[in-house]
Amino acid sequence: MSMFGLEESEIATLVRAVSGDTNLERQTIEDRFARATWSGLAEPGDRLAGRAVRQLGPSRALTAVVDHWSAARFAAELTQESDPVPEDDMRQAMERWLPRLKSDSALIALRQAARFGARLFTPEDALWPARLNDLDWHAPFALWVRGTDAALAGLVNGMALVGARAATGYGEHITMEASAGLVDRGYTIVSGAAYGIDGMAHRAAIASQGLTVAFLAGGVDRFYPSGHDSLLTRIVDNGAVISELPCGSPPTKWRFLQRNRLIAAASVATVVLEAGWRSGSLNTAGHAATLGRPLGAVPGPVTSAASAGCHRLIRDYDAVCVTNPDQMAELAPLDHEAGVLHPEPHSAAEDAGVLHSTETTRLLDALSARSARTTDDIAARSGLALAVVRARLGMLELDGRVSESERGWKQAATPSTPKNAQTRATVL
Amino acid sequence: MSMFGLEESEIATLVRAVSGDTNLERQTIEDRFARATWSGLAEPGDRLAGRAVRQLGPSRALTAVVDHWSAARFAAELTQESDPVPEDDMRQAMERWLPRLKSDSALIALRQAARFGARLFTPEDALWPARLNDLDWHAPFALWVRGTDAALAGLVNGMALVGARAATGYGEHITMEASAGLVDRGYTIVSGAAYGIDGMAHRAAIASQGLTVAFLAGGVDRFYPSGHDSLLTRIVDNGAVISELPCGSPPTKWRFLQRNRLIAAASVATVVLEAGWRSGSLNTAGHAATLGRPLGAVPGPVTSAASAGCHRLIRDYDAVCVTNPDQMAELAPLDHEAGVLHPEPHSAAEDAGVLHSTETTRLLDALSARSARTTDDIAARSGLALAVVRARLGMLELDGRVSESERGWKQAATPSTPKNAQTRATVL
């Protein structure tokens, strides 16, 4: 028998294995396999993919791609009275997804997951972090998890502690106090396993015998950063390491930004402990604010550039000034059952603005500075439609940020724009 | 002839002298003398005294006290349809005022004022700080001033910089930067001449050739604190020292608290630079908030108790988090069209640059590359205030341009390129 044109028996065996349930029925297996496939087919946060999976169900949405539905038919199936799907958007979406539709890529990811003891969670699972559903069409298709059930369940009391990689002694000190103090108050510490503030937040939680959860921007089979290999191994033993991307997926700048939305969405509140003016942690703060989650920031010396981002959040983005674990806990007291939070609807203009800079980010992520890549290859890696890739490469070439040789495209030797330019545009 | 039962000729001579006007008419002299008397009769902020003076005029209100009006009559004269004066309140008020009604106390204060060159200002004067009228019945009856007309006029652009006496090096540093930066932007620095933050605010303003005004809690004939005698003398020469209490009045705790209302009311905005959890400067902040004046607070390390009050203001009292002079100026931008004092011929940034480099040059000139020098020695050689020297040395040390040993400061052997130049420009 076959499933999406693949041999069904291996799929069933693998899905049962990574789901930790030997009694799954065929339709469940098909749905879970479809979600696993979607998690590698569309880039994190792909709104139209999320909408298709939500409206049609993961299997039928995947069938639409596998069967090469016309854009007109696909758009018509998704269109709701109040919210039409432009055929052109649908065509571009198919152009993003189809280059990645290789017959065995989901199987390879499943085999790798099984090898690493990673488990697959979908929204139907009891341990699925329900707050992620607040992301609506931007919610992840599935989660790949290495770690304990206790940590997943503990996400109900998750508090995000984030900050800059370039932390100062001051920043690390207050992070340690915050993490330990919040563990004492019953919170699970959520962060991104980066150097600096993130790493300290996880470490202090483990040292305090608390639960901690790390969201990664790449697959959970290969820890990033590699310098945090042993820390992440300890998090697997004492907490959970989670990604929405299947095993084998490398982290990219785009994926880091999207990973931040999971940290913010999975937590009752987000606290930025130390962050420079353009720190990536401000992006996490922006997601928290967009989701209506309480946001706190710890002040520091105004003479320290490492605290400038925190002051910016307090000053310009209504972050609450928090100076100790008690005040952080006040952001979202555990006594209160966290109600369902309603994500604010994005305006079309916002979407357009974000799309523009985010496409560039994804494109640059898909390029190498050393080896030239073909546009087909770049389209597959970036998850962008081939036509978009071609058009945007041309613009980037004009900016001197990419160059073309007869073997393909690569990043220009000396990028003329500051790396953080796009980050800044999308932050908040 | 007599005035309130006193010999009129000496009163007239003294009032003309302290008013700097030899052509005052009898009624004006009587009113000014009455206000001078009221300033010693009622404690600052005495609401019923303020109401009596406002409704009856200073002379008639004083006559009521001198003539021992019954509480019933006094209350009846003040009562307005919408706002009655309880007879009991009036009786208590008379019991407060009458014991102070000594026949010659106002004369003694006037003689002392004339001796010290202190001048008497009343609400009718062109140089009266009009914002004080926002205090309504709590407004001062008169102001006793030692200083320049320019400084009084400059109060139109007054910015209150206040903070704790127990300031840290961090607090003094940011106060110096704030004061100098605000002077560059055309503000007059208003503070309370206390040790710590207040003193630094005045000093840095003077060092920047700016205008500064100190409000005292006692008479302007005896400077308080005595350790700031020479600073206050310099403020008299370059700015103004003001009190609502007549000469000879000692400062009291109550008067300090009431003095704070004048600092807040006379200024366009108030900034608290460093303050502990219970610092008196929070009282000034409270007055500013009550008056609807913009309020800013500078954050600091959460590990420093000296900044706890600032964080409290930001967190619980809606103070704006301000981290540099630009943000402080944004609290109450000056109307340069009005061009009262400093129409800017060139940008504030240029001014700041010039100022800083000038001071830095003077400081480096006063240092040797071979022999260490004490801060006292450097202050004397450079002609800069000791506090300015200390603060700026700290910054130069960060830049690697000076070094400190136990014997003092000297120029660094190999001055590194000022890599912090940008930080300095943007942070403060």
Tens-place pLDDT, residues A38-52:
999 999 999 999 999
Q: How confident is the model at residue A343 (pLDDT cuts 50, 70, 90)?
A: very low
CB–CB of A321 and B301 under 8 A?
no
Q: How many CB atoms sit inside 10 A of residue A39's CB?
A: 26
Structure-token pair, residue A142: 């599935």
Question: pLDDT value at position A81?
Answer: 85
Nearest CA in chain A to B427: A303
CATH fold for domain B348-427:
Arc Repressor Mutant, subunit A (1.10.10)
Measured between CA atoms, how close is B163 to chain A, in angstroms? 16
| In the predicted structure, residue B395 carries a pLDDT above the cut 90 | no
Residue of B323, B420, B423, B428 to mutate, testing the A interface (most A Cβ within 10 Å of its Cβ): B323
Query: Is the ipTM, as predicted for this complex, more than 0.90?
Result: no
Residue type (1 letter), B45 = G
| In the predicted structure, residue A270 carries a pLDDT above the cut 60 | yes
Percentage with pLDDT > 70 across chain B: 86
Measured between CA atoms, how close is A427 to chain B, in angstroms? 20
What is d(CA B220, CA A102) in angstroms, rounded to the nearest whole number? Answer: 87
Structure-token pair, residue A284: 């996490």
**B-chain residues near A298 (CB < 8 A):** 302
What is d(CA B32, CA B11) in angstroms, rounded to the nearest whole number? Answer: 10
Mean pLDDT of B187-201: 98
CB–CB of B173 and A303 under 8 A?
yes
> Which H, E and C letters describe chain A, residue by residue?
CEECCEEHHHHHHHHHHHHCCCCCCHHHHHHHHHHHHHHHHCCCCCHHHHHHHHHHCHHHHHHHHHCCCCHHHHHHHHCECCECCCHHHHHHHHHHHHHHCCCCHHHHHHHHHHHHCCEEECCCCCCCCHHHHHHHHHCCCCEEEEECHHHHHHHHHEEEEECCCCCCHHHHHHHHHHHHHHHHCCCEEEECCCCCHHHHHHHHHHHCCCCEEEECCCCCCCCCCHHHHHHHHHHHHHCEEEECCCCCCCCCHHHHHHHHHHHHHHCCEEEECCCCCCCCHHHHHHHHHHCCCCEEECCCCCCCHHHHHHHHHHHHCCCEECCCHHHHHHHCCCCCCCCCCCCCCCCHHHHHHHHHHHHHHHHHHCCCCCCCECHHHHHHHHCCCHHHHHHHHHHHHHCCCEEEECCEEEECCCCCCCCCHHHHHHCC
Question: pLDDT value at position B408?
Answer: 84
Structure-token pair, residue A182: 């919040």
Q: How confident is the model at residue A406 (pLDDT cuts 50, 70, 90)?
A: confident
Minimum-distance CB partner of B299 among A174, A311, A327:
A311
Question: pLDDT value at position A73?
Answer: 97
**A-chain residues near B314 (CB < 8 A):** 299, 314, 321
Q: How confident is the model at residue B375 (pLDDT cuts 50, 70, 90)?
A: confident
Q: How many CB atoms sit inside 10 A of residue B335's CB?
A: 10
pLDDT tens string A253-265:
999 999 999 999 9
Minimum-distance CB partner of A302 among B308, B311, B428:
B428
| In the predicted structure, residue B282 carries a pLDDT above the cut 90 | yes
Report yes or no: A315 at the B interface, CB cutoff 8 Å. yes
| In the predicted structure, residue A402 carries a pLDDT above the cut 50 | yes
Minimum-distance CB partner of B320 among A174, A315, A323:
A315
Question: pLDDT value at position A423?
Answer: 33
Nearest CA in chain A to B298: A302
Structure-token pair, residue A366: 């898909």
Between residues 136 and 195 of chain B, which touch chain A (CB distance below 8 Å)?
A: 170, 173-174
CB–CB of B299 and A322 under 8 A?
no
Q: How many CB atoms sit inside 10 A of residue A54's CB?
A: 17
Q: How confident is the model at residue B405 (pLDDT cuts 50, 70, 90)?
A: confident
CB–CB of A308 and B427 under 8 A?
yes
CB–CB of B302 and A300 under 8 A?
yes
CB–CB of A174 and B298 under 8 A?
no
* Sequence ranges of the domains in chain B: 2-114, 148-331, 348-427
On the question of a cis peptide bond just before residue A84, with omega within 30 degrees of 0, the verdict is no
Q: How confident is the model at residue A4 (pLDDT cuts 50, 70, 90)?
A: confident
Measured between CA atoms, how close is B311 to chain A, in angstroms? 7
Q: What architecture is domain B148-331?
A: 3-Layer(aba) Sandwich (3.40)
Angle at Cα A193 formed by Cα A190 and Cα A195, nearest 5°? 130
Average pLDDT, chain B: 87
pLDDT tens string A207-221:
999 999 999 999 999
pLDDT tens string B42-92:
999 999 999 999 999 999 999 999 999 999 999 999 998 889 999 999 999
What is d(CA B274, CA B164) in angstroms, rounded to the nearest whole number? Answer: 6
Report yes or no: B302 at the A interface, CB cutoff 8 Å. yes
**A-chain residues near B427 (CB < 8 A):** 302-303, 305, 308
Structure-token pair, residue A166: 């370039």
Positive or negative, the CA dihedral B50, B55, B57, B60 is negative
Question: pLDDT value at position A357?
Answer: 56
Q: How confident is the model at residue A410 (pLDDT cuts 50, 70, 90)?
A: confident
CA neighbor of B233 nearest in space, from B245, B221, B250: B221
Measured between CA atoms, how close is B324 to chain A, in angstroms? 8
Measured between CA atoms, how close is A302 to chain B, in angstroms? 6
Report yes or no: B392 at the A interface, CB cutoff 8 Å. no
Report yes or no: A298 at the B interface, CB cutoff 8 Å. yes
The burial class, CB within 10 Å (0-12 / 13-18 / 19+), for A330 is middle
Q: How confident is the model at residue B398 (pLDDT cuts 50, 70, 90)?
A: low
Measured between CA atoms, how close is B181 to chain A, in angstroms? 15
Phi-psi region of B373 (alpha: psi -120 to 50; beta: other; left: phi over 0): beta
CA neighbor of B70 nearest in space, from B98, B44, B51: B98
CB–CB of B428 and A300 under 8 A?
no
Report yes or no: A222 at the B interface, CB cutoff 8 Å. no
What is d(CA A43, CA A61) in angstroms, rounded to the nearest whole number? Answer: 15
Q: How many CB atoms sit inside 10 A of residue B371's CB?
A: 9
Nearest CA in chain B to A300: B301
Mean pLDDT of B245-262: 95
Task: Report CA-CA distances (Å) from A139 to A32, A199, A356, B144.
Answer: 15, 25, 21, 68
Question: pLDDT value at position B387?
Answer: 64
Mean pLDDT of A1-28: 91
Question: pLDDT value at position B353?
Answer: 33
Percentage with pLDDT > 90 across chain A: 74
What is d(CA B60, CA B24) in angstroms, rounded to the nearest whole number? Answer: 19
Task: Report CA-CA distances (Å) from B166 to B77, B171, B197, B277.
Answer: 48, 9, 8, 12
pLDDT tens string B296-355:
999 999 999 999 999 999 999 999 999 999 999 999 999 754 444 433 333 333 333 333
Q: Count of CB contacts below 8 A, A vs B?
A: 64
End-to-end alpha-carbon separation of chain A, Å? Answer: 49
CB–CB of B315 and A311 under 8 A?
no
Measured between CA atoms, how close is B307 to chain A, in angstroms? 10
Average pLDDT, chain A: 88
Nearest CA in chain B to A312: B321
What is d(CA B174, CA B196) in angstroms, rounded to the nearest whole number? Answer: 12
Task: Give, in words, the CATH class of A348-426.
Answer: mainly alpha
